Amino acid sequence: MTKIYLKKNEPKQVVKLSDGDLGIMKTIANGKVKKYQFHFENHDHASFFASGKITNGEKVRVESIDGPEEYQLLYQ
């Protein structure tokens, strides 16, 4: 499982992964529900969207062409 370290209450930020890679997290307004886009430049990790409130320690499973990957979202 890859851990993603992010800062609470920052709508756009660079995030660090537990394996040393970097990515970008952007908050997208989608009506009343917030949507979060996680994008990784390096193709070692699948980019994904998450909806609703992010909770510390939340696990997200992503299906990609390379197979499933699991992330854990952690606040710094």
Query: pTM for the full model?
Result: 0.91
Identify residue 37 by its one-letter amino acid code: Q
Measured between alpha carbons, how far is 20 from 4 in angstroms, rounded to an integer?
Answer: 10
The band of 14, judged by pLDDT with boundaries at 50, 70 and 90, is very high
**Statement: residue 60 has pLDDT above 80:** yes
Q: Are 4 and 23 in contact (CB under 8 A)?
A: yes
Average pLDDT, the chain: 93
Domain residue ranges of the chain, discontinuous segments joined by +:
2-75
More confident residue, 33 or 28: 28
Using the predicted structure, report yes or no on whether residue 43 has a pLDDT greater than 80. no
Positive or negative torsion for Cα 62, 73, 54, 29:
negative
